[in-house]
Every structure is written in structure tokens, then in C-alpha cells.
């Protein structure tokens, strides 16, 4: 049995647990920037569900963006779109934060 098949067989054991997972139960308040870049064709976690969660999140900065033509592993399937989002959404927040003085 190949490594991929072994991984899929192992993952099958996690399905009941992951299906019952409730993101909201872990909270929606974050003290740091919060970004979700999501595949627009994801069937495991639908874009609508991901968007609903991000809408409920309270964070100093937050953003949600879809990666077009991508499914569950969007960052790996379309790395150019993911990189663009990192550069245009995340980098400005990180570089602005880095220039602010540290509070004591």
C-alpha cells in the first residue's frame, strides 16, 4: 500500500471527529490579525461557512478572500494567488505593526 493510500486510510478515522468540530465553540475573539484565504470550490468547508465564521470574528484586523479555481488545499493548488493575498493583505498589516513601538 502506497503512502497516499495509507494517509487516506488514516484520515478516514478522523472524519467523525472533524465533522462534529465546531469552530465557534473555540471562540471568535482574537487579539491578533485574522486572515482566511479560502478555495472558492472547497466542498469540505464551503466558502459560505468559512465566510460566516469570519463575519463573526472580532479581531483588530481581519480579511476573507477567495482563491479562484481552488478547492480545499487552495494555497498549494494556486500558490500564485495565495502569495498575492499574503503580499497585499497580510504584509501591510505585519509591516505596519513592526514599525509601531512595543508597549510595556
Q: How buried is 78 (Cβ within 10 angstroms: 0-12 exposed, 13-18 middle, 19+ buried)?
A: buried
Angle at 74 between CA 62 and CA 66, to 5 degrees: 45
Residue 43 and residue 72 in contact, taking contact as beta carbons nearer than 8 Å = yes
37, 67 in Cβ contact below 8 A? Answer: yes
Output the pLDDT for position 88: 97
What pLDDT band is residue 97 in, cutting at 50, 70 and 90? confident
pLDDT above 90 for 8: no
How far apart CA 98 and CA 73 sit, in angstroms, is 30
Taking only the tens place, the pLDDT of each residue in 27-72 is 899 999 999 999 999 998 899 999 999 999 999 999 999 999 999 9
Q: How far apart are CA 70 and CA 40, in angstroms?
A: 6
pTM: 0.76
Using a pLDDT cut of 90, give the percent of the chain over it.
62
Amino acid at each position: 500500500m502506497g503512502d497516499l493510500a495509507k494517509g487516506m486510510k488514516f484520515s478516514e478515522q478522523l472524519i467523525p471527529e472533524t465533522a462534529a468540530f465546531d469552530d465557534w465553540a473555540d471562540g471568535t475573539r482574537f487579539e491578533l490579525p485574522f486572515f482566511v484565504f479560502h478555495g472558492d470550490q472547497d466542498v469540505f468547508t464551503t466558502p459560505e461557512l468559512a465566510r460566516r465564521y469570519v463575519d463573526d470574528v472580532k479581531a483588530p484586523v481581519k480579511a476573507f478572500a477567495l482563491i479562484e479555481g481552488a478547492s480545499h488545499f487552495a494555497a498549494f493548488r494556486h500558490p500564485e494567488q495565495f502569495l498575492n493575498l499574503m503580499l497585499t493583505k497580510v504584509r501591510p498589516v505585519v509591516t505596519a505593526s513592526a514599525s509601531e513601538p512595543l508597549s510595556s
